[in-house]
Amino acid sequence: MAAKRHGNRWGWLRRIKRTNEIKGVILGVLLIIAGVLFVAFPKAAAIPHQDSEDGNFISRISKQDCQTYGIVEIILGAGFIWAFRWPGWGARRSAIDDYFWNLSRELARHFGERRYYDIDHVSQTARDFDCDMAYIAYAHAMFCSREDFDAYYRPLRVRCTYDGLRAVVIRRYLDGVYWFNAASIVRHAAPPLFNGEHCFSDNV
């Protein structure tokens, strides 16, 4: 029951994150569309303003100014899309984040801190906590031994490799440390006891 509550909470937080991603992408797309229109069809305009001291005044915008604003909007829109990422683009990254920061702690909570976990334990815990199973091979490479990984995936004839999947994790989280195991990730993902950042290599 407790596991189910944690899983529901994680699922709820992920849905909020995904909703915010979609909103950010939509805003970025709208800015780009507006920017393209300003660049392609520039128009001179007069915009009235109100000043508390001098009263009303008019600000004139030339066609060149309109195109400049359009370019700025295109850049801002692209920035929004990059920052929030198209949900499909960010799905793998979000899943790996979830495995590294959340699944690692749940594995330790259920099975204790270990150098490696069984593939079945990793998969079942990920399902219980509503993790994205589309990228579960990354979790298997992070938390399971090379022997278990190869025994599981070799008959499936998939193109992913143990070292290839771990290389993604190493580049993103582990300060270039290649010799890591599940216990290293668990210690790194745990909330720090003191203020300030710490290096992953301190936990290996």
46 beta partners: 60
Whether 129 shows a pLDDT value over 50: the answer reads yes
Domain definitions of the chain by residue range: 2-85, 88-203
Residue pair 51/57 in contact (Cβ under 8 Å)? The answer is yes
Distance (Å, whole) CA 50 – CA 60: 14
Assign 10 to helix, strand or coil. helix
pLDDT tens digits along 131-185: 989 999 999 999 999 999 999 999 998 889 999 999 999 998 888 888 899 999 9
CA distance 55 to 188: 60
User: What's domain 2-85's architecture?
Assistant: Orthogonal Bundle (1.10)
What residues contact 6, with CB distance under 8 A and at least 6 apart? 106, 129
The pLDDT tens digits of the residues spanning 22-39 come to 788 889 899 999 999 989
Any idea which of 39-43, 91-95, 190-194 has the lowest mean pLDDT? 190-194
User: What's the chain's length in residues?
Assistant: 204
% helix, strand, coil for the chain, step of 5: 70, 5, 25
